[in-house]
Amino acid sequence: MTEGHRPRGNPWFVPAILLGMVLGGVTGALLGREVAVIRLLGDLFLAALKMMIVPLVASSMIVGVSSLGDIRRLGRLGLLTLAYYLTTTLIAVVIGLLLVNLFRPGAGVQAGAVFDRAMSDYSFLDVIRGLVPANVFRAMAEGDILPLIFFSLFFGGVLTTVGAKARPVLAVVEGIFEISMRMVRIIVAAAPVGVFALVATRLGAAGGWSGFAAELRGLGIYAATVLAGLGVHGIVVLPALLLLLGRRSALRFVRDMAEPLMLAFSTASSSATLPVTIETIDEKAGVDPRVGSFVLPLGATVNMDGTALYEAVAAVFIAQSYGVDLTLPVQLVIVLTATLAAIGAAGIPEAGLVTMVMVLHAAGLPVEGIGIILAIDWFLDRCRTTVNVWGDAVGAAILERFAGLTPQADE
């Protein structure tokens, strides 16, 4: 049914990433300096990720919004669903921010060149002002993704009200979305080489093992911070909401939903998991399929609590690594952009890494910082995807109670 969303079945991906990391480490340590060709490989990989931001984010947002149906008739269920998505995503971001400020995983990491952007003159109001693009093409060309998101939401929303004339446009955008997802998948398949090149370059520039050891340590604490945040959100916050609002026990619900959750972990893709999530929530958990079939497909591309949490932690970790002190306004910028980055991310492996670029850009942080987190991202991607799918499922169970649907005729 969801052709093009097939789970990535490559069993060599993870070993290849690990191998890339180790080889990169050894090469960088032996060389002890930057090598232009290796640097080029890493630069190409980062450029390829950046290249996908505009088509992927724009098409994903337009397709996502238009799946709501005529926006003027967005009923009670639609509004409640959006409110649930937004609230839980924000909670996840705040948990991530609190933990990363507490653990400070980037504190001991010396991320190469000193980064000297004047953060003090950067304000939250500037970001709000920048949300509405005077020229959407200029925003795209300059990699300003927030205005692009604003434009895409507006465009997609109005598209749903135009009717037959807009249908071909939607078909084109859906096509662009499918193609972009496949392109990302191909680029991500080159991640082992990217990891090799970025690790070798960083380590070479750091001049050897000592810098690397500090970085590995930082990376470990960073991963632990993301996992702790995902744990708090997935094991404490969402179950509490499920109990209070959905009147369901999380233990039972998690047992019912075990299959999609495991699939989410093994594919790192909410979209690939979606058909199983929809089926299981109806068959095993007994949630009204009318709710499931509306809340879950939208959630698979729009509602990503795990991704939002990760975006916030990663951005602050990178800032800490570069010795940038994040003021409150900049942290607010991160709250806003991490939320939008999660909404804009497609439900495919490493989509969060693509939209991460935009968070860094908006907060004025160096995009090369992605090189630091890349090595561990394959693992964190799986964990955050599991929380993403869990958030969608909990949402469906909660919203069922508030949807005001008449009970279904017998089954």
Return d(Cα 10, Cα 349) in angstroms, integer. Answer: 12
What count of Cα atoms within 13 Å lies in the side-chain half-sphere of residue 313?
A: 34
348 part of the interface to ligand ASP, by CB under 6 A: yes
Kindly write out the interface string for residues 257-296 of this chain, putting x where it contacts ligand ASP by CB under 6 A and - elsewhere.
-----------xxx--------------------------
Question: Which one of residues 103, 335, 384, 397 is an interface residue with ligand ASP (CB under 6 A)?
Answer: 384
The residue (of 7 and 108) whose beta carbon lies closer to ligand ASP is 7
350 near ligand ASP, judged by CB under 6 A:
yes
Residue 392 found at the interface with ligand ASP (CB under 6 A) = no
> Which residue from 262, 294, 219, 271 is spatially nearest to 56, judged by alpha carbons?
271
| CA gap 358, 146 in Å, rounded | 8
Q: Which residues 6+ apart lie within 8 Å of 5 measured at CB?
A: 181, 269, 271, 272, 274, 347, 348
Q: How far is the CB of 306 from ligand ASP (least distance, A)?
A: 7
DSSP element (H, E) containing 367 = none
385 touches ligand ASP (CB under 6 A): yes
Dihedral (CA of 301, 347, 85, 76) sign: positive
Contact with ligand ASP (CB under 6 A) among 63, 65, 159, 345: 345
Residue 357 vs residues 285, 337, 363: alpha-carbon distances, Å: 37, 10, 10
Query: What would the x/- binding string for ligand ASP be over residues 293 to 332, using CB under 6 A?
Result: -----------x--x-------------------------
- Distance between CA atoms of 335 and 339, rounded to whole angstroms? 6
Binding residues for ligand ASP, rule CB under 6 A, total: 16
List Cα–Cα distances, 172 to 166, 180, 264, 280, in angstroms.
10, 12, 28, 31
Question: Which DSSP state fits 327?
Answer: P
Q: Which stretch binds ligand ASP (CB under 6 A): 97-105, 130-138, 184-192, 346-354?
A: 346-354
Two structure tokens written together for 146 = 């927030």
Q: Work out how close the CB of 351 gets to ligand ASP at its nearest, in angstroms, rounded to a whole number.
A: 4
Minimum distance, C-beta of residue 378 to ligand ASP, in the bound complex (Å): 10
Stretch near ligand ASP under the rule CB under 6 A, chosen from 18-26, 45-53, 175-183, 377-385: 377-385
Q: Under the rule (CB under 6 A), what is the footprint of ligand ASP? A: 268-270, 304, 307, 345, 347-352, 381, 384-385, 388
